[in-house]
Amino acid sequence: MTTIFGVPTQALFGQLLLGLINGSFYAILSLGLAIIFGLLNIINFAHGALYMMGAFVAWMLLTYLGLGYWWALGLAPLVVGVFGILLERLLIARLYKLDHLYGLLLTFGLALIIQGLFRNQYGVSGLPYAIPAELSGGQRLPFMFLPNYRAWVVVASLTVCLATWLVIEKTKLGAYLRAATENPTLVQAFGVNVPLFLTLTYGFGVALAGFAGVLAAPIYSVNPNMGADIIIVVFAVVVIGGMGSILGSVITGFGLGLVEGLTKVFYPEASATVIFVIMVLVLLVKPAGLFGRTA
Amino acid sequence: MLRSVLLASALGALTMGGALAQTAVKIGVLGDRSGVYSDISGEGSVVAARLAVEDFAKIDPSVKVEVVSADHQNKPDIGAAIARQWYDRDGVDAIMDGVTSSVALAINQVTREKNKVLIDSGAGTADLTGPQCTPNTVHWVYDTVALANGTGSAMVKRGGDTWFFLTADYVFGQTLQRDTAAVVTKNGGKVVGSVKTPFPTADFSSFLLQAQGSGAKVIGLANAGGDTINAIKQAGEFGITGGGQALAGLLVFSSEVHALGTKVAQGLVLTEPFYWDLNDGTRAFSERFSKQMNGRKPTANHAGVYAGTIHYLKAVAALKNEAKDGAKAVAKMKEIPTDDPLFGKGTIRADGRKIHDMYLFEVKKPAESKDAWDLYKTLATIPGNEVFRPLGEGGCPLVKG
Amino acid sequence: MADTAALDPAPIAAARPESRDDRALHRRVFLGIALALALAPLVLYPVFLMKVLCFALFALAFNLLLGYGGLLSFGHAAYFGMASYVSAYAAKTWGLTPELAILAGTLVAGLLGLVFGALAIRRQGIYFSMITLALAQMAFFFSLQAPFTGGEDGIQAVPRGNLFGLVGLADDRVLYAVVALIFFGGMLLIYRIIHSPFGQVLKAIRDNEPRAISLGYRVNRYKLAVFVLSATLAGLAGATKAIVFQLASLTDVHWSMSGEVVLMTLVGGMGTVFGPIVGALVIVTMETYLAQFGAWVTVIQGAVFVLCVLLFREGILGLLARRLGRPL
């Protein structure tokens, strides 16, 4: 058996694949953050809480209404998206004229409220959510046992990321969106309803977080704290990628998942911090981020 | 205002107690009511303490007991501050629960300084009866050394003689691994590998693959809480338990197994000192507990709060107002043997360690489980004198020779 | 779109220059604070007061960076928490006297601030906040994994020791006096910094960075300097807290602590001289008396955040200052 630094190549393939799966979550979450930031200039601190909410909505649909995973995959992002739209209309929209940092503070407060409420209601041990029957089991690949569900996570997130990119880059709607990002006043002057755009964008961005939450529900524990730690990592991902480009945030998300996966093999102790270390390095070399435009 | 009235009444009781032949004590239940341990502590501990007070009043109505409670939010400084305030201003005589090691150690110091009583049931650290032991503290339910001992030795005896550890990368996880590995080797087993996992970790797949690749018969989970839950969940997904390897949880509570469900957790082996369905005594208590707790069953920590409170009140009844001297109360508690419906007969050692039997449980298969709380079958009973760390090895200054 | 992190400049301070009247007013406030510090332990529980003072100093230090440097750090727990670890370790393991232990903690926080600050000021605005948060998370993981911090258990049973090897601090009242002095000294120092020429330049950068650059100021040096000062003083607060509570734990390096100090400053009034003290008092009191409500504490904190941002951006003292027409 061939080895790389004492690790069999076959095992390495397995680990890379797992890294890619984790990268899917980073990619969807950072994509949502990037879209929201691009248009609203707000860093959505509540993103992690809404990701958690997506997982909980999936659980509630199953428990209270008997609707399974596939329903949840469609409905939960919708619910989270609508919730996001309400947040934007009622609260966030009041801050557009102020400094962006207020948006950060507001969404931080929202994250605390959402997490606290779920913790009150459902405790902290987490809730069970099973892998859907169609996707249970797995494939015995030459180098590893790959659960079907994990493969599905990669496929689903790649599809969603790609579709989002296509919409933004190739459609007329996307063109408005990009234009509104560049110069909202001018776009408004052309008769485009920019406030509506902002609302829908926020709704879509957080719906992505909700979608990621549903994907996560069967593999991670569905618990109120699940979004709190991942959001900080995703912030670092966003800093590394730079928020200039949609595709950039997706690529960075997947890429960092791979890097993290490798770290788990070669030096597991550092796998929690490796993304932050990369962030420091990128800041030293290219402060605007890998795909960022210098302001 | 209210506080001063309470204080005055406590002082009143102190001075006039002899004349009235009635002793008044105040018990503070200091637990986690909002954070990661709120399911094993929280409101359940308060309910358990109240039930104990209720039951004790039937045996000996001469002791008047008041129960107060607070949330330490898992922050040692908040825990220590509440303890100080309780002892200094609010006339609290004894603190129960004390979940979370860092908070427990902090309360432990304050309790000694103020010469009160701490009966800790929730914390895992064996330091409470080791280097940091005090004449004012009793450690009731379990500690990590005992869990390591129980699971480690019992698993090897049952044929699980090669181990791979998934170890949370901080002192707690490393200690747990070290203690368990020592027991495994002592019993003739072998540790074939381990991996340090960052804390907290959401995705264990990579580490589980490494464990799978090692070919070890037992995968020891030297972690706690959300980490353990995620690891168990994902082990099922990667077909690890189905593939002949056993998962051994080194710190798992029944509330967590309940949350996971038997479908996911089936086959997991773990050690606990208490399970609601052990015998008539535990079932009767659990029935009453669960009526006040939305159907939730008590965890070992809740049982510890109940039993600890009963035993403390026995000491108070024996000492009368001398029980206000915390060291004396604890000395009395060590002197009288313990006996309660939840842990049976036992003793408290010189270092403050409460000694009772522990049980090796296996999580039932879904087919064997009658309802959501029907979780464990008993594999082995591990006698108290074998499972806890021997008295001389803890480094407790109270133990002479 | 301006990417500089200019928050609404404190409404009054920017509107007109400091007058002699304001100085006199501030002097009276200082006197009032000194008096309150002297009398408070007669009424209130000293341990509670010491906690308030530690957090007030922490919030003042944070406000120096946010209110006067216009930089929102979301990782100030790193300096507060690391300092408390170092001071606890120094007092317990090396057996240093409390003043030396506190000094050691403070210095380490300053050094950490120098490194983190140099990295973070490479970006502005929201990026700056995210970078400080990520760096602080690294400090958290370090504290969790490093052997000397005791992991989840923290460093416990730290001796309060004897000040200068002479005065025993075991008595809460003696320790209170020391903490009150540290707090008062820290507060005066911050006041001096704000009103020095250095502070004036800072405010200029906060209000209009490009203009400050065009005037020939080396903006980044000023930013780094105020970052280091703020980190050092936050460290002083954290190091003192370790001696007061005789422990250092992960709580103080966790990101929620960074959020808490932002909240204190916001509630009290960012960019006001005395606001953070009021904010710390309010938040610590709230936490102490809401402790029985369990998980509602975080919900209430979040709600306070939201309300402050939406309706109450000036904070308590900002509002009061506007009423009075005087900077506070």
Query: Rounded to a whole number, what is the distance in Å from the CA of C302 to chain A's nearest CA?
Result: 4
The residue that leads in pLDDT, B224 or A142, is: B224
Average pLDDT, chain B: 89
Identify the pLDDT of residue B5. Answer: 46
Identify the pLDDT of residue B241. Answer: 78
- When pLDDT is averaged across residues B160-181 and rounded to a whole number, the result is 91
Lowest mean pLDDT among A154-158, A186-190, A259-263, C90-94: A186-190
Tokens representing A236 are: 């670092």
Identify the pLDDT of residue C13. Answer: 44
DSSP B180-217: HHHHHHHTT-EEEEEEEEPSS-S--HHHHHHHHHHT-S
Q: Within 13 Å of residue A60, how many CA atoms lie on the same side as its CB?
A: 15
Give the CATH fold of the B2-142+279-356 domain.
Rossmann fold (3.40.50)
- Residue A135 in any domain: the answer is no
How many Cβ contacts (< 8 angstroms) between chains A and C?
Answer: 123
Average pLDDT, chain A: 88
CB atoms within 10 A of CB B240: 22
Whether pLDDT at C175 is above 70: yes
Cα angle value B137/B138/B139 (rounded, 5°): 120
Lowest mean pLDDT among B19-23, B43-47, C256-260: B19-23
Identify the pLDDT of residue C292. Answer: 66
Lowest mean pLDDT among B343-347, C15-19, C66-70: C15-19
Identify the pLDDT of residue C10. Answer: 45
* Contact flag B170-C251 (C-beta cutoff 8 Å): no
* Contact flag B38-A264 (C-beta cutoff 8 Å): no
Burial class of residue A96 in the structure, from the number of CB atoms within 10 Å of its CB (0-12 exposed, 13-18 middle, 19+ buried): middle
Which residue of chain B is at minimal alpha-carbon distance from A126? B259
* Contact flag A101-C8 (C-beta cutoff 8 Å): no
Q: How far is CA C98 from CA A157, A199, B135, C104, C158, in A?
A: 55, 55, 27, 10, 10
Identify the pLDDT of residue A109. Answer: 95
* Contact flag C129-A101 (C-beta cutoff 8 Å): yes
CB atoms within 10 A of CB B304: 32
* Contact flag C144-B105 (C-beta cutoff 8 Å): no
Residues of A in contact with B212 (CB under 8 A): 145
- Indicate where chain B has its CATH 3.40.50.2300 domain(s): 2-142+279-356, 146-272+358-387
- Residue A118 in any domain: the answer is yes
Res. B87 pLDDT band, cuts 50 70 90: very high
C-alpha distance across the termini of chain C, in Å: 31
B385 in Cβ contact with B355 (< 8 Å):
yes
Q: Is C141 on the interface with B (CB under 8 A)?
A: yes
The predicted-structure confidence for B52-82, as pLDDT tens digits, reads as follows 999 999 988 989 999 999 888 888 888 998 9
Tokens 């330490």 belong to B72
Residues of B in contact with A150 (CB under 8 A): 205, 237
Whether pLDDT at C295 is above 70: no
Whether pLDDT at C152 is above 90: no
Res. C7 pLDDT band, cuts 50 70 90: low
- When pLDDT is averaged across residues B154-177 and rounded to a whole number, the result is 90
- When pLDDT is averaged across residues A199-225 and rounded to a whole number, the result is 93
Report the C-alpha gap between C308 and A39 in whole angstroms: 24
Tokens 């039993």 belong to B307
B207 in Cβ contact with B181 (< 8 Å):
no
Closest CA to C326 of C16, C78, C86, C66: C16
- Residue A294 in any domain: the answer is no
Predicted-complex ipTM score: 0.86
Domain that holds residue A165: 15-126+142-285
Q: Which of C49, C80, C152 to mutate to test the interface with B (most CBs of B within 10 A)?
A: C152
Question: B144-157 vs B171-186: helix axis angle to the nearest 10?
Answer: 40
- Residue A171 in any domain: the answer is yes
Tokens representing C88 are: 């606890």
* Contact flag B199-C241 (C-beta cutoff 8 Å): no
Q: Which chains have 3+ CB pairs within 8 A of C?
A: A, B
* Contact flag C153-B171 (C-beta cutoff 8 Å): yes
Q: Is A126 on the interface with B (CB under 8 A)?
A: yes
The predicted-structure confidence for C123-134, as pLDDT tens digits, reads as follows 888 889 989 999
The predicted-structure confidence for A268-291, as pLDDT tens digits, reads as follows 888 888 999 998 899 888 888 888
- When pLDDT is averaged across residues C150-176 and rounded to a whole number, the result is 87
- Residue A4 in any domain: the answer is no
Residues of A in contact with C137 (CB under 8 A): 232, 236, 276
Whether pLDDT at B93 is above 50: yes
Whether pLDDT at A244 is above 80: no
Q: Which of A154, A259, A264 to mutate to test the interface with B (most CBs of B within 10 A)?
A: A264
CATH number at residue A103: 1.10.3470
Which residue of chain A is at minimal alpha-carbon distance from B201? A272
B36 in Cβ contact with A221 (< 8 Å):
no
Report the C-alpha gap between C206 and B71 in whole angstroms: 41
Identify the pLDDT of residue B191. Answer: 96
- Residue A238 in any domain: the answer is yes
Average pLDDT, chain C: 89
The CATH class of B146-272+358-387 is alpha beta
- Residue A165 in any domain: the answer is yes
Long-range pairs of A179-184 with CB within 8 A, sequence gap ≥ 24: A180/A39, A181/A38, A181/A39
Q: Which of B195, B205, B301, B373 to mutate to test the interface with A (most CBs of A within 10 A)?
A: B205
Lowest mean pLDDT among B262-266, B282-286, C5-9, C83-87: C5-9
Tokens representing C100 are: 């030396």
Report the C-alpha gap between B59 and B65 in whole angstroms: 13
Identify the pLDDT of residue A86. Answer: 96
Identify the pLDDT of residue B8. Answer: 46
Residues of C in contact with B172 (CB under 8 A): 151-153
Whether pLDDT at B310 is above 60: yes
Burial class of residue C188 in the structure, from the number of CB atoms within 10 Å of its CB (0-12 exposed, 13-18 middle, 19+ buried): exposed
- Residue A63 in any domain: the answer is yes
Identify the pLDDT of residue A33. Answer: 92
Q: What's the total number of domains in chain A?
A: 1
Whether pLDDT at C82 is above 90: yes
CB-nearest to A119 from B34, B256, B259 is B34
Closest CA to C193 of C284, C283, C69: C69
The residue that leads in pLDDT, C161 or B2, is: C161
- When pLDDT is averaged across residues C237-244 and rounded to a whole number, the result is 96
Report the C-alpha gap between A18 and B328 in whole angstroms: 58
Handedness of CA B229, B231, B236, B242 (dihedral sign): negative
The predicted-structure confidence for A32-70, as pLDDT tens digits, reads as follows 998 898 888 888 999 999 999 999 999 999 999 999 999
Whether pLDDT at C55 is above 90: yes
Tokens representing A81 are: 């998206």
Q: What share of chain C is helix, strand, coil (3-state, %, to 5)?
A: 75, 0, 20
